Amino acid sequence: RNIGTVSDTQTVTFATPSGEVTTRSLSLDATDSKTVPMSRLSAPSDPGNYTYEVSTDHDTHQQQLRVLQGASFGVNITDTSVEDTSFAVVATIKNRGDFEDTQPIEFSVDGTETETQQITVPAGAQRSITFTHDTGSRSFTADVSVETQQPDIATTRISQAAIHNGPRTATI
């Protein structure tokens, strides 16, 4: 925008955070304004804050651009429990991104996927999810894993031994 009272021609310079610079010559009548297209400049893809700069012979303006992190789920197994022939696994899913998202979480036992649950986690938050599995036996060892779409995976081994004390006898 020409804030002066006379026509003028100046060079407009656009600089990116990566050091790319584009210039255009621009002529404006008094009090006129114009949108100036710049050639395609690459935008940063890594999350963070970036400063762009537009300058003329008489003025410089900086503008911040914030590149957000897409949803990125991480997983940790936070608890396990065993009861009779079955076990439960509690996993905590953390969204390390800047957007809420819903993703499938896969539960596998001994390398075979046994269940998938959808979970929605807000940006920067975490949610717990519980998976259960019946082994059909009171004595078992199972290698379990919980996996996100990224993929991030957490594993653990769950074991239970059936202990028999032998026959009970009573003395009279």
Report pTM: 0.69
CA distance 131 to 87: 8
The pLDDT assigned to 17 comes to 84
**How far, CA to CA in Å, does 31 sit from each of 3, 14, 36, 55?**
5, 22, 16, 18
Q: How many CB atoms lie within 10 A of CB 75?
A: 22
Q: How many CB atoms lie within 10 A of CB 121?
A: 24
Euclidean distance between the first and the last CA atom of the chain, given in angstroms as a whole number: 108
The pLDDT assigned to 75 comes to 97
The pLDDT assigned to 169 comes to 53
Q: Tens digit of pLDDT per residue, the chain (172 long)?
A: 777 788 888 888 888 888 888 888 888 888 888 887 766 667 788 888 988 888 888 889 998 888 899 999 999 999 999 999 999 999 999 999 999 999 999 999 999 999 999 999 999 999 999 999 999 999 999 999 999 998 899 999 999 886 655 555 555 5
Residue 30 is given by DSSP the state: T
**CA torsion through residues 72, 76, 78, 84, sign:** positive
Report the run of H or E that residue 5 belongs to, with start and end: none
